[in-house]
Amino acid sequence: MLNIIYEKRCQVNKKVYLILNTMLKEKERQIVLDCLYQESLKNAKMHNTAIEEAKRTAKLQAKLRFDHLSEREIRQIYSNFIYKEIVKYIEKDISGSSTMYWVNGGPEKRKMRIKEYAHYAFMRMPENQKIAICGKLGYKYIK
């Protein structure tokens, strides 16, 4: 879970608010930072900047955004990452079998059906199964 590291006072509109700065454990924190970095990098590439400059600015933007995220937003980003990883795991598992080969279907249709089924399977999956898959993948499951 999230651990409270320290308290920091912040002055906004001449009022002092007590902000609890929360941090994930190092691995989960790095995952959230990587997700923010990828999003920032995608935005920087849309503005047609040089690749090296885009990478540097994306890294700085990711760190700044992470510092200003609430606990709920951090959990949401991490949960989205876990969702994608579990769905990818299910897709890979099904792709290795001969499941969802249909007579009039091509490889693209099969991939679409597998993706749709993986999403459905994740949504219907009980918590203990999600925890077990996260354990196999080496991640920590946070609700």
Strands (E), the chain: 3-12, 15-23
pTM of the predicted protein model: 0.72
Could you read off the pLDDT of 132-143 as tens digits, one per residue? 999 999 998 887
Could you read off the pLDDT of 33-82 as tens digits, one per residue? 999 999 988 887 777 668 888 888 888 889 999 999 888 899 999 999 99
User: What residues does each domain of the chain span?
Assistant: 82-138
The 10 Å Cβ neighbour count of residue 133 is: 19
Angle at 4 between CA 68 and CA 142, to 5 degrees: 85
